[in-house]
Structure 1
C-alpha cells in the first residue's frame, strides 16, 4: 500500500501477526465505552485483528464502542480502546494487536507534518484536495462548462461552512424531465479519497462532454447531482494541523456520525451508539446533525408532482472495496418496503457493478448491522436505488483511511464502469 516515501516510517507501526482462534460470544450493547478513531481523544486506542468473525459477531464488536474497520476472509480489523479490548477478550474474542493508532497516524503524516500554519494535508499527500481546493475545482468546472454545470448549495455545516453541490446536465440551469442521479462523498471526515471520487465524476462528465460520445449521451439524458464533501467541518479538522487526526464524525459537540443520523429506522436495532463519545454516535435525534439534515432536505425537495426525481444514488466511503445495498438495519433480505423482486434487482445490479471494479457485493448488514444510515433512508423513504461503495484499499488498519495520493487517479477511474451502470439503471 505504501510508496517508498512512507515505507520507512510506517513499517514500525504496522505488523503482521499470527492470529489465535476466537470464541464467538455475545456482547451487550450496554457496554459502550470511550471513543475510538480520533488522535485528539485521550485514548486513540489500537488496531487489532479478530479472526473467525461473521456479520453477527462483528455487530456485537461494534456494540461495545469498538469499530470494525475492515474484514477479509472472516478476519476483522478492529479499532478499540484498551477498555473495549479488555471487554471483547472477556466476551471470548481473540484480539491480536496490530497498530497503536497514535503512532500509526504519526507515521502516516510524516516527519514534516504538524508544522505551524499547515492547514492542509501532510506534504507527501498534497495530491488530495483540501476544502478550499475542492471549492476551486467546482468553480473551474462551472467556468469551463457553463452550459452543462451549475453550482449550488444544500445548506451549511454545524460550523457554518457551505456544503456545495454541482449539477451536470445538457441544460443544467433548467429542471428537465430526466432521470436524476445523486453522488455524495466524504460523510466520514477521514475518508478523503471519496472527495477525489466525486471530483473525478465531475471532471469526467464535464471535460469529456465535447469529445466523448458516451459521456455526452449520459449528460444529455440525465441530471447528475454531486456533493463532494458532505461533512466539511470534520474533513477540514482532520487535516487542519497538517497531521492526520483519524477523525470520523462532524464537529457538533463531541461529534455525530452523520451516517447513523438519518431518519429511517434511526437507532432501532443496535447498529449505532447512544454514547456521544462513540465514533458511531447517532445524535440526539434523527437529523440532529445539520449536514445529514441538509442532504435529506435536498432529496425531499426533488419530489416533483408527487414523484421522486432522483432515481439512483451512491454514498461513497472508504475502505474495504465493497458494493453494499439496503437494508443495513436487518439481516433479512426482505422486510417492510423491500420485496424479493426489489432485493433481487439490488443484488443483480450490485454484482454487475462489482464485476467491473473487483469489489465484493453484499447486503449492507452482511458486514454488520447499521441503523439510521443514508442508503436505508434513500430506499426506505423514497425508493431511490441506493448503494454504498467502500473504496480502496480492501483491508488494513487506520492506514486504510490514508492511502498515498499516487493512487487517486487509478482508484477513482476504477469505478467509471460502475458509475455508468448506475446511470443506466436510473432510466429503468
Structure 2
C-alpha cells in the first residue's frame, strides 16, 4: 500500500506490467503443435526403474551423477528413477540393483480432471475478469515454441507498483508434474475469493505483491498432456530437451548434479541459462531489483512427487558456505522450512540432503539474488495421481503457502534477528 516514486513505478511497469503480444495460433493450438520454426525435442528415451541399495545422500548423488532423474525416494529408501539405457547401465556398474517399473496406474475418469494449458489460461482470464481490482495477468516472456509464459499478479492496488514485500511462486517447471499447476490455481483462488471476507487473506493481499505462474513450461506441459489425459508421456523437460531445473545460471554444471547428455532427463542444456523459459524467469526476477533493492523476498518452486520441503543449497553438502550461505541464512531457512512442514507433514531438509543438484532454481534465487527460496515436492505417489486427489493434495498446502508469504516481510524474524537484518526494510 506504500507507493514508490513515479520513476520506479514506470520502470517496473515497462519491464513487467504489460502482457506481451498475442502468441501465434500455431503455438497455442489444442494439439500443442510447435510454433513455426521451433525445433521440438524427440520423445523421451528414459524408462522407469526401481533402484535398491543407495542408503545415503552421497549414494543417491552417485545415482544422480549418472544423469538419471531421481523421481522419488520411497519410505524404505529405494529410488524410483527415470533413466536412459546408458544411465541404467551406469547405475548397475555402481553395484546397485535395477528393477524395471511399468507405467503409472491409470485412473478412472471422474467429474474432476487436471487443467489443460488452454483451460488454465481460460481460468486466469476468468480470475482477472472477476477480481480486476486485485488480480492482473502478466507475461514474463515466451517459451521455446513461442507461447507466452503467463501468471497472475495479486495485490490490493494491483495496477500500481507498491513498496511492499513481493512473493514469487512458480509451478510446472517439469512438464509431467501435473498436480503443481493445480496447486498454483488453488492458491490463486484462495487469495482472490477470500479477499475481503477472510481477515488473514485480506491483510496479506493488502501488504504483499504476489506473482504466481501456474505453468512455467507450457510447451512441455502441452506435450505431456496431449498423449493421454490420464497417463502422460512422462515428459520432464522443455521442448528443446532441456531440464529447466538444471539450467539456471548459478553453479551450472558444477558438481555432478546434472547431465551433459541431451537424451538424459536431467540434461542441463548447452550453456547456463540457455533455455528461453529460464531466461524469461531470471530476467523477470532481476527486473524486480529496483534501485538496488530486490523486491521479491520469498520464492517457491512447486514440484512433485516426494512430500518434501527443500531449501538451498543443492550443489554442496555443506550446510553453510562462507559469504554465500551463512549460519543465520541457513538457520532462518531451516526454521521456516520446519514450521511449514509441521502443517503439510512433508519432510523438511536442505536440498543436498536428498542428493546433489546444480543449476537449480533455489540455488540461483538465493545465490544470485539473495531471495529466500524453497521447493515444495507435493505428494500423490506418482506424477499422475487420480483427479479425485487434487483437492486433498492442494488443500494441505494452504497454511504453508500463507506462512511463506507472511515471512516475506522479514524471514530472519523466524530466528528473532529481525532487528539485525530488517531494520532498513
Classify the secondary structure of the residue corresponding to 1:211.
Answer: coil
- Confirm whether residue 331 of structure 1 aligns to residue 320 of structure 2: no
1:61-94 deviation per Cα after TM superposition (whole angstroms, max 9, x unaligned): 1222322211124322223345433332232112
CA offset at residue 211 of structure 1?
1.4
Distance 2:67 2:54 in 1: 20
* 1:6-29: CA deviation from partner (whole Å, max 9, x where unpaired): xxxxxxxxxxxxxxxxxxxxxxxx
Q: Which runs of 5+ in 2 are unaligned?
A: 1-40, 411-425
Distance 1:68 1:424 in 2: 32
Instruction: Choose from 64, 68, 71 the match for 1:69.
Output: 71
Any conservation in 2 of the 1:48–1:79 contact (CA below 8 Å)?
Answer: no
Partner of 2:391: 409
Deviation at 1:46, TM superposition (A): 3.3
**In 2, Cα distance between the equivalents of 1:86 and 1:373?**
26
The TM-score, its normalising length taken from structure 2, stands at: 0.83
Q: When the two structures are aligned, how many residues end up with a matched partner?
A: 366
**Contact preservation (8 Å) 1:109, 1:244:** no
Alignment of 1:130-279 (within 5 A): 130-242=116-228, 244-252=232-240, 255-279=241-265
Q: Could you tell me which of 40, 47, 50 is aligned with 1:48?
A: 50
Alignment of 1:11-160 (within 5 A): 40-41=43-44, 43-71=45-73, 72-97=75-100, 99-100=101-102, 104=103, 107-108=105-106, 127-160=113-146
Whether the aligned pair in 1 keeps the contact of 2:243 and 2:269 (CA below 8 Å) is yes
Shift in CA distance, 159/179, structure 1 to aligned 2, threshold 3 Å: same
Asked if the contact 2:68–2:83 (Cα under 8 Å) also holds between the matched residues in 1, the reply is yes
Which residue of 333, 356, 367 maps to 1:369? 356
* 1:5 match: none
Is the Cα contact below 8 Å between 2:46 and 2:85 reproduced in 1? Answer: no
Can you list the C-alpha shifts for 1:115-138, whole angstroms capped at 9, x where unaligned? xxxxxxxx5586110001000110
Contact 1:70 1:77 in 2 (8 A): yes
Give me the whole-angstrom Cα distance separating, in 1, the residues matched to 2:348 and 2:135: 32
SS of the aligned residue for 1:150 comes to strand
In 1, Cα distance between the equivalents of 2:320 and 2:184?
31
Q: 1:389 to 1:158 in 2, by over 3 A?
A: same
Per the alignment, in what secondary structure is the counterpart of residue 298 of structure 2?
strand
CA distance in 1: counterparts of 2:116 and 2:376, whole angstroms: 22
Aligned pair partner of 1:316 in 299, 302, 308: 302
Question: What is the SS of the residue equivalent to 1:267?
Answer: coil
Task: Find the residue that maps to 2:309 and give its secondary structure.
Answer: strand
Q: In structure 2, what is the equivalent of residue 379 of structure 1?
A: 366
Map Cα deviations across residues 156-207 of structure 1 (whole Å, 9 max, x no partner): 1000011101100000000001100000000000001000011011110001
Cα separation, 2, equivalents of 1:218 and 1:248: 33
One of 331, 354, 360 as aligned partner of 2:347: 360
Q: Structure 1: which 5+ residue stretches go unaligned?
A: 1-37, 111-122
User: Please, which of 329, 336, 346 is the counterpart of residue 342 of structure 1?
Assistant: 329
Q: Which runs of 4+ in 1 moved over 4 A?
A: 123-126
Kept after mapping to 1: 8 A contact 2:138/2:151? yes
CA deviations 1:284-341 (Å, max 9, x no partner) are: 1111100011011110000011100000011000010000000000000111410011
